[in-house]
Chain A
Amino acid sequence: MADSFRSRLRDGPPIVADGAMGTFLQAAGLPAGTPGEAWVLERPQAVADVHRSYVEAGAGLILTCTFGGTRARLQRAGLADQVDEINRQAASVAREAAAGRAYVAGDIGPLGELLAPLGRRTYEEAVDLFAEQAAALAAGAVDLLYVETMSSLDEARAAVEGARRAAPDLPLTVTLSFDRKGRTNMGVRPEQAAQALAELEVTAMGANCGHSLEMTTEALQKMRQTAPEAILIAKPNAGLPRVVGDETIYDATPEMMAQYARRFVDMGAQIVGGCCGSTPAHIAAIAQALQE
């Protein structure tokens, strides 16, 4: 599957990725504050249902429910002794739900800590933490490793190093979250990210989450200019959060997301999906738009 993923990225057509996971699980009853990773073991069917609704909406790539699957994050939820089990099982759950219709990407999110000298966590420790998660995802037979929502280039590098150490043969993608002033909140410019990730020879790179659809567009443009050969990924939030009644929703309609998706593909994106606030309806609209 790793080879087929690489050739699909190279030769097209673009791959539609899935949308939000956490909000979906909460709608299914995941208590606020309980990480989705807990349900990978407790209620795997609920996680599988989310995957399936994205595959049915047309997603050809789904992310395992392991955004917070490093020991650093699971520890805070009291799940430190289940790092291997959760990541491995999350991969199996996703694979079964994909049923051969979608690539399974092993999701790796940030540690939620600052690396030294800004924080106490050393670079070497970070590499170990990422390697531990990546090894478990690889053991669960993911098609690729998918590092996302990075703000710090050091941490992105540590994730790449850890992932490569654990699974040298798997394709590896990295996306960052660009926020205020078009940079990550650690100040990384899209150009800097593109250059660093090109040097690391990742399989694909891009922008996810982020401040707005427009900012994702700008980030992609700049990455493209800096690394014209790079295969790009766009997985933005469904617009901006807005309070409606008792709920916080994101304001981009499926139609708007679909419009942007076309633009992302024109700019060289080979993987396009959604992040916070996106639903199967958004993904279906993207899939439809990219088929036309």
Chain B
Amino acid sequence: MTETLLQTLGQAVIDGAPDRATSATESLLASGADPLELVENTLSPAMDKVGRRYEEGDYFIPDLVMAGEAMKAAMALLGPALKARQQVRSSPGTVVIGTVEGDIHEIGKSLVATMLEAAGFVVHDLGVDVPAADFVGKAQETNADVVGLSALLTTTMRNQQAVIEALAEAGLRSRVKVVVGGAPASPEWAERIGADAYAENANEAVQVVRRLVSR
């Protein structure tokens, strides 16, 4: 019974079906399943599978968004359950993310935030058109491990560099890693402006940020 429900929950994430994720989680909790185990042994592997399918070209943005929604639906129940048992989902790190100043592109950045959250990171999404000082302030306040900078225009991508410089001026650069992304960005661009990494898409972003925090 529980075994089937676990499969249902995992499959609900893979299929991007929030309603099914909710009902499976409800049933599992009612039958006494351990919430932490559900997160670590069922939801996380399911999200990893979603990421692999994206990487292989079977999944696209809608699939990632809906998988993220299913994950959120399950977590809406599991969050309180974890708290009630005084369990804590171990987080690989804290990420501050946003689209740089002058740039209002939102979809890619939000998707990266969703995928990082699903992977267990504590994510502070500052939104779009974010001034460099706000990235610095939030990174300081949250003791962030990583700052993620999105830019979709060849002109606004320079503001990724401005944030890196502002982090350096604030004396944070040595302990905060920076990852950049967006259509005109590239590994060469990341290197040029002194970022620690470039990520081409939301799935790669999760892998890259995992790598950055494990160094």
Residues of chain A having any CB pair with chain B under 8 Å: 22-23, 26, 31-34, 73, 76-77, 112-114, 117-119, 151, 180-181, 183-187, 241-243, 246-248, 276
Contacts and interface: CB of A to CB of B under 8 A. Distances in A.
Contacts of B57: 180-181, 183
B129 interface: yes
Contact of B192 (A114, A183, A243, A276): A243
Contact of A186 (B62, B156, B183, B201): B62
B184 interface: yes
Interface string B188-215: 1100100000000100000000000000
Interface residues of B, number: 31
B104 A114 contact: no
B101 interface: yes
A215 B122 CA distance: 37
A134 to B, nearest CB: 22
Contact of B154 (A23, A34, A114): A23
Contact of A187 (B60, B107, B153, B201): B60
Contacts of B61: 114, 118, 151, 185-187
A184 B128 CA distance: 23
Contacts of B155: 22-23, 26, 32-33
A230 B26 CA distance: 51
Nearest to A182: B57
A112 B101 contact: no
Contacts of A185: 60-61
Contacts of A32: 102, 153, 155-156, 158-159
A250 B193 CA distance: 19
Interface in B94-114: 101-107
A196 B101 CA distance: 37
Contacts of A187: 59-63
A248 B156 CA distance: 11
